[in-house]
Amino acid sequence: MGGQRSGNGPNWLIMTHTPSSANMTSLQSSKGADPSQLQPGKCFTKDADGVNSLSGGWVDCGDHVKFGQTMFYSAYTLLKGYDAFPHGYDDYYSYDYAGYVNSGDWTFEGNKGGPNGIPDILDELKYQCEFFIKCAPNASTFYSQVGEGDPDHLNWVTSVAMATLPKTQGGQKEGPRGFVKNPNDASMPSFCAATLALMSRVYKKFDPAFAATCLTHAQYAYTYAKAHPGTVAAGSFYPANAKWQDDFASACAELYWATGTASYKTEALSYAANLGNHNWCYNYNNNDDIAAYNLAKLGSSTALTLFNSFASTYKAAVNGSGLYTGGDASWGPLRYNANAAFIVALHGAYNNETTVNTFVYKNVDYILGGNSSKSSFVVGFAPSGGTSAVHPHHRNVYLIDDIMANQNTMTIPTKNRQHGYMIGGSRTVPFTESATNYQTSEGGIDYNAG
């Protein structure tokens, strides 16, 4: 499993991909690719800082960069969902997808995934946590990004092909890609610590040794975050997090639940006054919601009041169909519907509600095709008699390395048709897809997480 997976969910799409000789010849002559560096089914295995490997992990928005602003937040959100609702996660496949590969049947309905006794979400989180362990190798070192946005965005090719290109074209022909080391940031290492601490708790029954390793590196990330108060942006690609204290509080809370050490609880609760209403929606740079939930569970009445207000605000911000209208209505709007639904669902769990909240149901149902057009915004997940997204802004889905190809006429190969990728979409239907309109047709790990 060399290199990266592109986002969360079953991602067999790149495992056996080999660019055609014609496409590699074209990339060699026009972009300076080195065909001798091709690794079928693998990409960016050279990512490293000297002898310290930085390979693996999820990449972002159908691209091939690992941006910490979305990566650490998304992993924690996904794992927190499992922690709150473990009964909602199935076991269809094994960690290496061998059942699908061996059978040639890539559908969930085919039941060829080869369950391994571990919920699939934890298989994905294990893959990501293996990378997070590399991000926090000790208490004074932290890696927040691997790859660079500008060169990565130059060529519409798979990650397997892009890895053979020069660095100026987003590849690693001459050696490892660039990375961001030791940022003056506490938000990203806090989310890293929170994820690893939570993973150490939920994965212990499956693999105690790996769980223990996660906890060790969670404490490294926590120590790094504590020594670097502040937040930083990822150049022009992602802004700095709105604050760091909320994320640090979540890290402390998770370390308390993982270890039982009372000082972590005390430290977490000391940040209750730093939480506030961001007047937006839970997303990668506004995280007071999840911190309020955590501190409320630790007994903070201040945090509980704030958490209640978030849930109330989201449930009130709806149109006549019950669809959430907050967040950004033009750039990836459905991520905010998913995120708001997630927070309201957590609120229901906190209050031991025994029925699904109408707000949660209507927003998730709309995304999955419960609308007048029966249009699902998740690739390969169509309602009966309806359709699903088929033109996502995602380079690996199509397995095409022809840089002259028309992106809007590309078709998804059979093994990727149930990719499970949620696009930004629209709050109105009918909706017309365009792979080149990334504001509505790209997705992202942070889109899918909620």
* Nearest to 273, CA basis, from 250, 253, 303, 239: 303
User: Would you say the C-alpha torsion 214, 293, 79, 397 has a positive or negative sign?
Assistant: negative
Confidence (pLDDT) at 41: 86
Confidence (pLDDT) at 287: 97
Angle at 137 between CA 133 and CA 138, to 5 degrees: 130
Tokens of 40: 């079928």
Parallel, antiparallel, or unpaired for β 387-388 and 375-376? Answer: parallel
Confidence (pLDDT) at 100: 87
Confidence (pLDDT) at 3: 44
pLDDT category at 14 given cuts 50, 70, 90 is low
Q: Mean pLDDT throughout 188-206?
A: 98
Least confident range from 14-28, 145-159, 394-408: namely 14-28
CA separation for the pair 90, 69 (Å, rounded): 28
- The overall average pLDDT reported for the chain is 94
CA distance readout (Å), 173 to 38, 45, 161, 187, 449: 10, 11, 11, 32, 32
Q: How many residues does the chain have?
A: 450
CA diameter of the chain: 64
Least confident range from 11-15, 156-160, 257-261: namely 11-15
* Nearest to 364, CA basis, from 323, 331, 325: 323
Confidence (pLDDT) at 8: 36
At residue 57, the 3 state secondary structure works out as: coil
The one-letter amino acid at 121: I
Distance linking the first and last C-alpha atoms of the chain: 26
pLDDT category at 415 given cuts 50, 70, 90 is confident
Confidence (pLDDT) at 15: 65
* pLDDT higher than 60, residue 121: yes
Confidence (pLDDT) at 5: 53
Q: DSSP secondary structure string, 404-416?
A: TS-GGG----GGG
At residue 74, the 3 state secondary structure works out as: helix
Q: DSSP secondary structure string, 110-159?
A: TT-S---SS-HHHHHHHHHHHHHHHH-SBTTB-EEEES-HHHHTT--S-H
Tell me the pLDDT tens digit for each residue of 327-359: 999 999 999 999 999 999 999 999 999 999 999
Confidence (pLDDT) at 6: 45
Q: Mean pLDDT throughout 30-56?
A: 96
Q: Mean pLDDT throughout 121-142?
A: 97
Share above pLDDT 70 across residues of the chain, in percent, rounded to a whole number: 97
Tokens of 385: 């008699």
CA separation for the pair 75, 81 (Å, rounded): 10
Q: DSSP secondary structure string, 348-389?
A: HHHTT--S--HHHHHHHHHHTT-STT-EESBTT---TT-EE-
* pLDDT higher than 90, residue 9: no
